[in-house]
Amino acid sequence: MKKTSELALHPFFIASYPILFLLANNISQINPKDLFRPLVISLLFTLFFTLIFSIAAKDHRQGGLSASIIVGLFFTYGHIHRALGLENHAILLLAWVLLLAVGMLAKYRIKNINSVIKSLNIITFLLLLQPIFTILIFLSQSGIPQKIKPPSPFDGVDAVSQNNSDLPDIYYIIPDAYGRSDVVKELYDYDNSDFINFLEARGFYIAEKSHSNYIQTSLSLSSSMNLDYLENLEEADIQSSDREPLKELIHHSELRQFLEERGYQTIGFSTGYALTTISDADFFIPYHVELANDLENLILMTSATRAFGDKMQNLFLPFYCESQRGGIMNIFENLEKVPALPGPKFVFVHIMAPHPPFVFDAEGNTVKYGDCNGLDGTEFAGSREEYKTGYPQQMAYTSTLLEKTIENILENSATPPVIIIQGDHGSGMFLDFESLENTCLRERTSILNAYYLPTVEDDIFYETITPVNSFRIVLNEIFDLDLELLEDKIYFSPWEKLYQAEEVTDKIESSCE
């Protein structure tokens, strides 16, 4: 009696695993909806290879093995190249060609192929369970876990809505990685005094010695919008790299809740960063343009397409550059319309500039320094010289756009508004996300911090104010509260262990040399 052939499912499990793995490990920053297209494409290509090699070998089991070898090598290449820190691709490509050849020959020497197919089916299926479980857990959770919700600074404050006809619009504008002028001059030889003089001439107070409380956007904004330090999250898993709790802290902050209870409507924008795209705002301004989504960009960087380098970038990353430019311009263009919306309004504006990728020169023309993966510090895909050239140029154009925006807001607001323009952290030319010792804290924590409160004296602010106290002062003045100011402290957190915050307040002024 002829023995039944084992059905080869392992190629499809192998084709699914890397995509599910990338999504599971970046689930708080990538929309799960991004999964569908790359998964379908991967499975279709795997089916194609399986059929072609099955026909050639006249055995679907051999065809499945061939497809698994090809797909497995394809998806692991970029991870290995990055882990080894190789300068070029020649050696690794040669090694991968040899592995492919050896694998294709060795599979014909398998004596009990049914047993091998069965084992591969089981092993690859079990591999799938971990990322699937992680994704399902994420999708099943709703809201912020109570154990990591910080204490409200508004406990005891009357939450009853009041007459809001005279309340000012509040603009919280965060140009990402916008550094302090003296440090930018020191490191980049760029004079930003024209923009600072513009702000001062319009009545802004400039905190000339301000620092961010944290070195990462998600931590900085979670803190500033909840008016507290994240060290109060004592029950959070300090080993975790999950940013979903921080996303909830930003999207549904104590600040937003307080203002909405007093008649404010929240206005949000598509920022290009899931953690700061408050899509459930009362007014949400979207930006829809997509060729390769966030998950697909990760796949391009971690698969064999990485070996094509600039040639691959010519196909995909320039489109991502255009998406970055378009997203930034979409925010500024729509900000012009915001003053005409009914008030009072809380306008949350996170702008991914002058943060990399560097896609504007000082006049707004198209440039590209490094590639357009949007990463900073040691993850910036370019040289230090490219960073040093690109950052000040993008800062210059960001400042130009901000000037026009501020003029428009001041001219067209029915009630004089409150405007805070604040970097979430400084630039990252000397930033190592995983090493405090290799990071220049003076660069990364020194920020632009400017306040416009037209009916308030400047002496309520002070030159070393940090973002954690920004809204404590602003809300005290607008709503006649008595929120206590906190001690201004600065923390360093590794990227992968972001809840392991180390206070570095006494180390922030060390030279970057």
Q: Which residue has the higher pLDDT, 343 or 445?
A: 445
The pLDDT assigned to 372 comes to 72
How far is residue 429 CA from its own chain's centroid?
17
Q: How far apart are CA 501 and CA 224, in angstroms?
A: 16
**Alpha-helical runs (H) found in 202-253:** 217-224, 244-251
Q: Where do we find the tokens 């004592």?
A: 234
Spell out where 104-211 has E strands. 170-175, 205-206
Q: Domains of the chain, with CATH numbers?
A: 10-140 (no CATH), 167-289+325-507 (3.40.720.10)
DSSP-based three-state secondary structure for 430? coil
Q: What is the pTM of this model?
A: 0.74
Asked whether the predicted pLDDT for residue 311 surpasses 80, the reply is: no
The pLDDT assigned to 151 comes to 60
At residue 492, what is the residue type?
F
Q: Name the least confident of 99-113, 388-402, 416-430, 473-487.
A: 99-113
What are the residues facing 447 on neighbouring strands? Answer: 179
The pLDDT assigned to 158 comes to 53
What are the residues facing 269 on neighbouring strands? Answer: 285
Asked whether the predicted pLDDT for residue 298 surpasses 90, the reply is: no
User: What are the C-alpha distances in Å from 467 to residues 48, 207, 406, 485?
Assistant: 54, 11, 20, 11
Q: Which residue has the higher pLDDT, 157 or 410?
A: 410
Q: How far apart are CA 249 and CA 266, in angstroms?
A: 15
List of residues 6+ apart from 417 with CB closer than 8 A? 168, 169, 170, 171, 339, 409, 410, 452, 454
| 250-267 confidence digits (pLDDT tens) | 999 999 999 999 999 999
Asked whether the predicted pLDDT for residue 395 surpasses 80, the reply is: yes
Q: Name the least confident of 49-63, 257-271, 279-293.
A: 279-293
Mean pLDDT across the chain: 87
| 473-500 confidence digits (pLDDT tens) | 999 999 999 999 999 999 999 988 888 8
The pLDDT assigned to 163 comes to 55
Confidence at 393, pLDDT banded by 50, 70, 90:
very high
Q: Which residue has the higher pLDDT, 226 or 511?
A: 226
Confidence at 159, pLDDT banded by 50, 70, 90:
very low
The pLDDT assigned to 157 comes to 55
Written as six digits, the tokens of 61 are 């089991």
Asked whether the predicted pLDDT for residue 310 surpasses 50, the reply is: no
List of residues 6+ apart from 474 with CB closer than 8 A? 170, 418, 420, 451, 453
Report the percent of the chain where pLDDT is more than 70: 88
Average pLDDT on 325-352 reads: 93
User: What are the C-alpha distances in Å from 226 to residues 56, 63, 152, 377, 430?
Assistant: 63, 57, 8, 27, 29
Confidence at 160, pLDDT banded by 50, 70, 90:
very low
The pLDDT assigned to 176 comes to 97
Task: Tell the burial category of 105 from Cβ atoms under 10 Å away from its Cβ (0-12, 13-18, 19+).
Answer: exposed
Average pLDDT on 184-201 reads: 96
Q: Which helix (H) or strand (E) holds 269?
A: strand 265-269
Asked whether the predicted pLDDT for residue 168 surpasses 90, the reply is: yes
Average pLDDT on 105-114 reads: 87
For 192-229, give one letter per residue: b (16+ CB within 10 A) or e. Answer: beebbebbeeeebbbbeebbbbbbbbbbbbbbbbbbbb
- Which has the closest alpha carbon to 451: 210, 286, 260? 210
Average pLDDT on 285-311 reads: 74
Asked whether the predicted pLDDT for residue 352 surpasses 90, the reply is: yes
Q: Around Cβ 113, how many Cβ atoms within 10 Å?
A: 18
Cβ proximity of 476 and 227 under 8 Å: no
The pLDDT assigned to 57 comes to 86
The pLDDT assigned to 143 comes to 47
The pLDDT assigned to 237 comes to 62
- Which has the closest alpha carbon to 47: 15, 5, 7, 21? 15
